[in-house]
Amino acid sequence: MNFIEQLPRFVFFTGKGGVGKTSLACATAVRLADAGRRVLLVSTDPASNVGQVFGIDIGNHVTAVSAVPNLWAMEIDPQAAAQGYRDRIVGPVRGVLPADVVKGIEEQLSGACTTEIAAFDEFTGLLTDEVLIARFEHVIFDTAPTGHTIRLLQLPGAWNSFLEAGKGDASCLGPLAGLEKQRAQYKAAVDALADPARTRLVLVARAQGSALREVARTHDELARIGLARQYLVINGVMPEGEAAHDPLAAAIVRREQAALAALPDILRGLPMDSLPLKAFDLVGLEALRRFFDEAPSAAAAAVEPVGPLAAPTLAQLVDGLAEPGHGLIMVMGKGGVGKTTLAAAIAVELARRGLPVHLTTSDPAAHLTDTLAGQMAQLTVSRIDPQIETQRYRDQVLASKGKGLDAQGRALLEEDLRSPCTEEIAVFQAFSRAIREAGRKFVVMDTAPTGHTLLLLDATGAYHREIERQMSGSGVHFTTPMMQLQDEARTKVLIATLAEDTPVREAALLQGDLRRAGIEPWAWVINNCVAATAVTSPLLRARAAKELPFIDAVASRHASRYAVVPLLAQEPVGIARLLALAGAAP
């Protein structure tokens, strides 16, 4: 395995959601620790499940994995990091400055921007803390899905450039006295990330056209910011031997081989490894230690066939979604569960029925046009592009607030708008526009993977609380985006998952987070379900049997309504296949 040979101190696993980054990072960490290396495993994903993989509570501090000598782990918790960041800034001035000034500072530090900066500070600290680094021979980062990770890796350079150009403006980074330390820390982080002797980036993908195209884009974007030394791992490849047992397995082998044969040219020069699909869930120490064992699983051949699965279909859910004639439909869940495909299938079926539909995405790495591969009447498609939205917001602020300023004032305003925090505000505004549009048509939103979506909802909640505070006692009626999300008559949230341990557990946690925000999910969708097909391949039969308890958990404990979408022989790309997926005749 090329990617694990002569590893430098820092290793990043990144890629599209659901490709197995966490499994690969955890298995690599265990292998190194078993070989006697002192290893720190860090998750930068706001919806981390590293603790679930090991079956322990980890949290926002370095924690020993007791079952594995030489291994420690840490999950960067954005909320805990944000609270610590606020305490460091507000603590020294509490009791010194007037109470109303302190309250104003606290309000300024309550948004999603502060959450991102705080988590980012912890990330750069891990790259530059010499005392911490000296304790470990390797620091392995299990990152959030691609779009979120690219932003994280770009931020050291973005903040460093902003500080260099800021002429002392503290912006939203905190007191002026802290800027010099942050400037030095961010520059050191940039240097560490760009040095192949210290940092290795491992791009993880599946043998699927969409995943490989995204990895190619990721490679290009990271290379442009100086992170060119990359390795490629193709994970979860269907073993060719399974094709002899089963038409579905044979179809999957053919489409995976075709995707690998069409590997984008930009990736062909990278060192590449391939890892086969497993018959077991990669949860628990035993499974992690078996991860790199390429021998066929003896357990797979002994599994009895699963009988036909009787479960509601996606077509039945669409009937209920279509009934009001308009509204917001949000598809949420862990990366890699097929949110983009499900959102597109629902949108094209609603449009087929003659209903006006706007299909959009808040995922920085999503590409809806690749999934649709065509156009149809009544359907418009868009993407909340962070760069476009940020430029639109800057132009809007300069045209309004900058209108009456002199040259010096306008220059200061332009400096402030160069802050990377501006992007969070701009994306929230675009999200709010999409919510408002749902009052007159269907807006189907493919959301970013869980952690990134929760940060966006945090911004929505913070805005709602601020409007509520300002309007309190005024007697004026108002509606905020959060109020619309909480109204099931206007918004229906679908939670997408797979019939596997980690996706179902994370979907349940997401449901809990949504309920605490006053948002009740409308339905769950179990996607790519092997148990909903008739299979004879020993490997697929073993996977189908392992799905049954998780399907039962969704149906009996988690969801008020649900649907099951089977694993398909052909990828659901193109309008005809999406219509078939949603229950209409192709």
Q: Please identify every residue annotated as catalytic.
A: 18, 20-23, 45, 502
Whether the CB-CB separation of 233 and 24 falls below 8 Å is answered with yes
Q: E-assigned strands of 344-459?
A: 357-361, 379-381, 442-446
DSSP label at 176?
Answer: G
Distance CA 449, CA 144 (A): 8
Distance CA 113, CA 120 (A): 10
Distance CA 363, CA 381 (A): 14
Residue 448 is which amino acid?
Answer: A
Minimal CA–CA distance to 456: which of 480, 432, 438? 432
User: Both tokens of residue 373?
Assistant: 């591969």
Please count the other Cβ atoms lying within 10 Å of the Cβ belonging to residue 466: 14
Indicate the SS3 state at residue 563. strand
Distance CA 500, CA 88 (A): 40
CA distances from 377 to 325, 444, 445 (A): 16, 16, 18
Report the alpha-carbon angle 287-293-298, nearest 5: 75
Pairing relationship of beta strands 327-332 and 379-381 according to DSSP bridges: unpaired
Q: How many residues does the chain have?
A: 586
